[in-house]
Every structure is written in C-alpha cells, then in structure tokens.
Structure 1
Amino acid sequence: MNLSVLKESVNFLNLLFDNVTSAVYLVNQEARVVAFNDAFEALFQKSDDKILGELCGNVIGCMYAVEENKDCGTTRNCSQCSLRNSILKAATEKIPTYKDLLVRDFYINNLKITKYFQFTTKDLEFQNETLILVILDDITALKMSELQLQEKNQKLAEYNKQLNYMMSVVAHDLRNPLGAIRSFAQLFSQSCDQFDDAERQDIFKTIVNGTNSCLNMLDDLLDYSRFEAGKIEFKIDRHDYLSVINHVVNINSILAKNKNINIIKEFEFKELMLMIDPSRMEQVIGNLLSNAIKYSPEGTEIKVIIRRENGWIKTEVIDQGPGITAEDQKELFKPFRRANVRTTGGESSTGLGLAIARNIINHHGGKIGVESEVGKGSNFYFYLPLKPIKESDGN
C-alpha cells in the first residue's frame, strides 16, 4: 500500500476524519465553525445548517450563550472561557493547547447537561488562511466515576474514623465497669467471711450494676450496627400510643424515685391510635426519660407532654437539668456523641441512645430534635405523623 498516495487522497482523509471517535472541528480566526466530523455532530446533536458558519460557543450549546441569548464572545463568561482563550491564543500567537479541561453546563437537544471535556487546539495554515483545529473528548463518564470513587473513599475514611472512635469509646466505657466487677469479685472471693450481710449486698449490687452497664452498652452497639446494616425489623401496626408511653413512664418513675424526681404527664388525649412499632417506640421514650433522669438534680420534675401540632403528634420530655450548649446540640444525635455535662448520680451512657432513637423516629416517618439552654434544662421532642404510614413487617 502506497502511504503517500493515501495521504494525498481526499476520500481517505475524509474517511479518517469521520471515523475518529473524538469530536473534531475547525474554526476560523473569528471562532466560526468551518468543518466538523461525524463525532462532533453526534455529540452536540445539531444539523449541518446549525453548525457551519456559526460561532463555536453557540454551536456547542454553551450555557452562557444560550441563557443570555448572546453570541459567543459577548457573554459575561467569555473572557474566562478556557476553550475560547485557547482558540484565540492558537490563532494570534500560534501557541497550541494540549489536553486542557473544560467543565460546564451545555444545552444539548434543549436539555441542560454538565459535561467534562478534554480539549486540544492547534493552528493550521490552509490556502493562506489560519484555521484552528479543535479536538474534544467527552470524558464525563470517566470524571463522574472518579467523583463517585472519591465520595466512596471519603465515606470509607469517615467510617474508619468513626469505627476507631467507637472502639476507643467502647474500650474506655467497658473498662470501668469490668474493672469494678473484677475488683469486687476478687475482694469477695478472698475475704468473704470478713463482710457482714449489708456489705455483701452492696458488693453484689455493684457487680450487678456493672454487669448491666456492660450489657446495655453491648445491646446499644448491636442495635446501632443492625440499623447501619439495614437489618432491623419493624413491626408497625395500629396501637394505642398512650398505652405504650404510660408503660414506659411507669417503669422510669420507679427509677426516678431514687433521686426524688417526679415525672408529670400532660396528655391532650385519653386514647390515641397510631401506626407504630410499640417495642421500638418504648425504646425511644425510654431513652429520653432515662437521659432526663440521669442529668436531672434531685427533687426536680420531668414533664412528658403529648399533643397535636399541625397534623403531627408531638411528644416532649422536658427536664430541669443543666441544659446543653448550642454546639453540643448539633452533635447529640450522632453516634457516640455526648453533651459535655456530667450525670447527677454517676450514671453511665453509651452515647448511642439518641442516634438509635433518631433512626427509629425516621423509620416511622417522623422527626426528632432538642431545644435547650444552659442552666434552664432541656426539651427533647419528636413528631409522629397522624396519618398512617405504610405498614411493614420487614426493613
């Protein structure tokens, strides 16, 4: 095959031009298109009469030219356009541009689409006229894949950070009760006869409390991990919501008596049927009441209020504790986050209860939040929809 003959063959050059997968076109010094290949026409979805002789930015559907209804070269962005500037540089200074990046919204078939183009510009001399060769490669799919990969890597890094933090918190929080259990067990085994009945009861109580603290933490960890994996089952059906709340309040009232705390109920309804998973709702209200008791001083009151508000049922747990700073409030519903205040009776907390409560309320189609002011107590509240949500026996 004679290569020199091929190079001089117009048909061969046209064949080569139209079979290149890159969008290739030629513009004159005014940036008007004078030639283009099939790939260019396919990419921008325009016919010959809307391409030839038209300005580059108008042909390719530049968002600025379309939205401002102006010619390429006269929009507010033209002076900053890397493609236009490279064309002008090639035309006036004979300086080529290789594989530069253009990211912009373009109108293709009247649809606004974000595109990532890699482009090259090079000046050519043809019949005593300077033309600019422009080669465009649509790398949008590649860039989107890269961005998705970056997002996944960022989420993975955040997950690893959270996991490391979780491990440090769990190790710290388990160490204290386990250490106490071991110390008292060793003390009791070595000197059992030296303790009277009351002292033995105190030792057993300390061991039981420490064990319960460890078990509660493990239960919260398992619940949270199941939520994160989407493996928590909800059994949502029509139930008397007030009966569920009353049951939890009665249980926590016994605990509150140890600190001389009075739990007051203010219900707008005598009966209230809602679509809920009763065991999960007990978990939510139980966590809010337990926290209120932990952080409330002795001799104070905790209010549980249930009322209608704009098509929702609002449940509030209001305490007279130390209150929470605005900065801490932003972090409270994240896993392993705790307010920078101490419990009033030395009680422990896993830092997972509110994160679990948020997941449960979200699953019921509701929303949860807190209002608090330092020195004036806290109001933890959540909304449940009055209208039934879709029943679900699974996730």
Structure 2
Amino acid sequence: MKKPQKDSKEYISELEDKIIDLSLQLKTQNNLLELIEIKNNKLISKLTHNLKNPIGTAFSFSEMMLVDSDKYTPEKLEKHLQIVKDSSQYAISLLNKFANFQRISTLNCNYNFELINYIELLTKIIENFNKQAESNCSILINTIPKEIFELNIDAEKITLVLKQIIENAMRFSSEYSIIIVDIKNNNNYIETTITDTGIGISENDLKDVFNDFFVVNTYDSYKKKCIGLGLSMAQKIIQKHKGIISINSILGKGTTVKISLPIHK
C-alpha cells in the first residue's frame, strides 16, 4: 500500500516550524556575535588605555633628550634612557601578553593533547626558575606522589599556566621568600598548590582576579607594572583541560593557587 501523502496544510505547517527554528538559531548566533564584538571592543579599549601611558612616556622623554641633548650630563642621560627602556619594555610585554591571550581566547585555538609525565614537567619548570640568577625567591616542592602520573594535556599551554602562577608568586613576595609547591592525588585529579607568603589579596578583590585586565596592585613588590591578563588566560587553559583553578588569599599574609587536572584513565 502506498503511504498517504501529506496535504498542503501539513507541508506549510512543517515549513513554518522549520523557518521559526532557523530564525531562532540565527537570532542566537547574532546575539553571540554581538557579545563577542562587545567583549573584543572592551579588550581593545583596555589595551589602548594601558598602552597610552608607557608609549607617551617613552615619546616624551626621547623628545626631551633630542631637544636638550647638549645639556645632558651622563647621569641624567642614563636616568632618562632607563625610563625610555622601561616604558618600551612594558609596552612590548603587554603586546606579547595580549597576543597570547587573544590566541588562547579564540574559539578555534588548537590544543595538542598528549599523555605527559606531569610530575616531570612541573619539576623541570621549578628547576629552571631556581636556576635563574635574577630570581629572588626559592621554590620548594613540599610533597610529591610516588606514582608516575600521565596526564592528557597540552604541555606548552600547561607550562604557560604554571610559569604564570609561579611568576605571580615570586613577583608579589618579598626578597628571599620561599614558595611552596604541593602535588597530590585527590579523587582522580592531580592537585597542584602553589603557596607564597607575599602581599596577598583582599577578600573583596578575590572575586575579580580572573577578569581580563583586572589588577589588584598596579605595581608588584619589585616596582614592575602589572598587566592583568595572566590569570584570565590561565583559567581559560585549565577549563579547556576540564580542570579547575582556584585562589585563596589573606591580605598581607600570602596566596595559594590550586590547579586540579584530571588523571588519564
């Protein structure tokens, strides 16, 4: 027997339903694009705002040096050249950070996941920090599991996260401080906690530390200007790994950052 054919009313009804469904999908995509555009505009605005001061400072001092070059003493020349260098260095650092941040934030950012010995990776990062001549802090591994854990991670991006967290701990700690790293297995997750005894973060500021360009202190303990993209970038990377990053801190007493990454089964 032939199947009964649909009448024109049924076809029209189905077509109307499909058109409504496509319209809703289109509206959702348009809303998403609008949100992305608003977010990107805010980021560019913040980037421009943060670049104005260092670039303006470098320009002003270089112009002053050119106009009054015959009046400069060696001491004054060295002082002003250092200002130009520091301002330019900050601008370059900001642009590099922003480029990395944008690369990580894009929807089509590629992740090269592979099984990596996480303990070995972290240990090498810490060893490199401790070897740096300019490092004013010591990083100690307090606890480490005896088992060898292979995590399914993008080694380059997880290295970026770990370096950022350790750099923050060093930057906001006083000279010759000790930063403690603990690693443990907790319910199918490897937990890495990085604890410093630095300046800490107030309870009021903790809720915003993962926001783009959020800066608690304009300058760190070594008078270097802060950018405010590192933690936001770190959170995005950890979330892509189906992990969790959290921060606990007490103002004036120090900060602990915990990174939890799932163990490969």
Could you say which TM-score interval applies, normalised by the shorter chain? 0.7 to 0.9
Say if 2:126 is the partner of 1:246.
yes
Say if 2:165 is the partner of 1:288.
yes
Q: Is the 8 A contact 2:181 2:194 kept in 1?
A: yes
Cα deviation, 1:223-260, whole Å, max 9, x if unaligned, reads 22222142345374534223332245326x65552xxx
Q: Following TM superposition, by how much is the alpha carbon of 1:369 offset from its aligned partner in structure 2, in angstroms? A: 1.9
Q: Is the 8 A contact 1:241 1:272 kept in 2?
A: no
Q: Where in structure 2 are the equivalents of 1:132-211 lying within 5 Å?
A: 140-189=17-66, 190-191=68-69, 194-196=72-74, 199-211=76-88
Aligned to 1:126: none
Secondary structure class of the residue paired with 1:351: coil
Whichever of the two has the greater Rg, that structure is: 1
Q: Which amino acid aligns with 1:164?
A: N
Aligned to 1:324: 201
The alpha-carbon distance between structure 1 residues 212 and 308, as it changes in their structure 2 partners (threshold 3 A), is farther
The structure with more helix, counted as a fraction of residues: 2
Q: Is the 8 A contact 2:181 2:193 kept in 1?
A: yes
Q: Following TM superposition, by how much is the alpha carbon of 1:299 offset from its aligned partner in structure 2, in angstroms? A: 6.3
Q: Following TM superposition, by how much is the alpha carbon of 1:351 offset from its aligned partner in structure 2, in angstroms? A: 2.4
Q: Percent identity?
A: 24
Q: Is the 8 A contact 1:302 1:319 kept in 2?
A: yes
Q: Is the 8 A contact 2:200 2:253 kept in 1?
A: yes
Query: Which stretch of the first structure deviates more once superposed, 262-271 or 176-185?
Result: 262-271
Paired residue total: 253
- Give the alignment's TM-score, normalised by structure 2: 0.76
Where structure 1 has 5 or more consecutive residues not aligned to the other structure, the ranges are 1-17, 23-38, 40-135, 389-395
Q: Following TM superposition, by how much is the alpha carbon of 1:159 offset from its aligned partner in structure 2, in angstroms? A: 1.7
Q: Is the 8 A contact 2:218 2:225 kept in 1?
A: no
Q: Is the 8 A contact 2:238 2:245 kept in 1?
A: yes
Q: Distance in 2 between matches of 1:284 and 1:322?
A: 21
Structure scoring higher RCO (CA < 8 A, sep ≥ 6) equals 2
Report the RMSD for the aligned CA atoms in angstroms: 3.4
Q: Where in structure 2 are the equivalents of 1:1-395 lying within 5 Å?
A: 19-21=7-9, 140-189=17-66, 190-191=68-69, 194-196=72-74, 199-227=76-104, 228-232=106-110, 234=112, 236=114, 238-239=116-117, 240-250=120-130, 254-257=133-136, 261-269=137-145, 274-275=150-151, 276-297=153-174, 300-325=177-202, 328-336=205-213, 338-345=214-221, 346-387=223-264
Q: Following TM superposition, by how much is the alpha carbon of 1:307 offset from its aligned partner in structure 2, in angstroms? A: 2.7
Where structure 2 has 5 or more consecutive residues not aligned to the other structure, the ranges are 1-5
The structure with more strand, counted as a fraction of residues: 1
Q: Which amino acid aligns with 1:383?
A: S
Q: Is the 8 A contact 2:217 2:226 kept in 1?
A: no
Query: Which stretch of the first structure deviates more once superposed, 283-292 or 185-194?
Result: 185-194
Q: Distance in 2 between matches of 1:279 and 1:199?
A: 43
